[in-house]
Amino acid sequence: MPLGNIVILEPGKPERMHFRDHYKGPRDITDNRTGQPTLREVLEFDVDELNGQKVNAKYSTMAEKHYGQLAPYLANKAYLNYDFIITKTGSGFRTTYTTVVIPRQK
């Protein structure tokens, strides 16, 4: 579900996305447990298509396992050739992500 220009995943609801660019690097965030600022590594994508609709949005993750699902597609922007159906399950430390990769039709 897009919230402004940010894609927020709802548990159990798959979202189909196409990415046009990405950024990987540090981001200042507030730690939910301590309330203190901290620096975390983030993987952020520019989303140009969401569930078949043209959009101009961002999708980001700091979840290590989810990053591992997406990392093989970062080299040479291989993700340009695929759609990603991502489903979030659970919340907090029990959050998991299922990622289905579908080649784009030419």
Q: What is the pLDDT of residues 35-83, one digit of tens each?
A: 888 888 999 999 999 999 999 999 999 999 999 999 999 999 999 999 9
106 and 37 Cβ atoms separated by less than 8 Å: no
Six-digit token string for 48: 């140009």
Output the pLDDT for position 3.
Answer: 55
Query: Is 70 exceeded by the pLDDT of residue 90?
Result: yes
User: Number of structural domains, the chain?
Assistant: 1
10 and 4 Cβ atoms separated by less than 8 Å: no
Which domain does 45 fall in, by range? 2-103
Q: Quick one: average pLDDT of 78-99?
A: 94
70 and 62 Cβ atoms separated by less than 8 Å: no
Output the pLDDT for position 78.
Answer: 98
